Structure 1
């Protein structure tokens, strides 16, 4: 991989990181609002047939928050691999991760063959 390609992928990852951090901050605000609504005792959402329950919304937002935290960790690991000089190499077989795969998933840790094998084992 050329230094220019690595720089382009670094830029893509940094852009994704910025967006992910913004999403985490927004979800954090939602969690604070939900926590306040749950603790004040005035929200009787369990009997509102038109809206989602506070518990359901809490679960949804908490799940999204966990997903974004995982995404952020993956991006940070990819940036670490760039700094260490190992970006674009499969963590399992040490073969190259194809450019098309990195275009689609810049934080990819596995080449497509190893990713398929890992998915089949699930």
Structure 2
């Protein structure tokens, strides 16, 4: 699924990276706990979170994610957006709660890492 599709499905606003919306993502994860993301996430290109701090960007960068979507209408400060820009990570915000955002993406064909490990 392209980031442009995700933007449309979630009625999201791009805070940085509009020129990269043609990027393709194959899976996603949603969490407010970056320790869980580091421990359990494999091969996801998209992170949905309501946590707004620089650690989110650092975590996404370590896992080579291409996009962060802040849910619940959360808007990161300019320092967080700049950090994401430096790491070439698209940043969006959407008004939906995480449960609804993940459900919408799942029902439109975007999956998580369903390898049966958990």
Q: TM-score, normalised by structure 1?
A: 0.21
Greater length-normalized contact order (CA 8 Å, ≥ 6 residues apart): 2
More helix by share: 1
Q: TM-score, normalised by structure 2?
A: 0.21
Structure with bigger gyration radius: 1
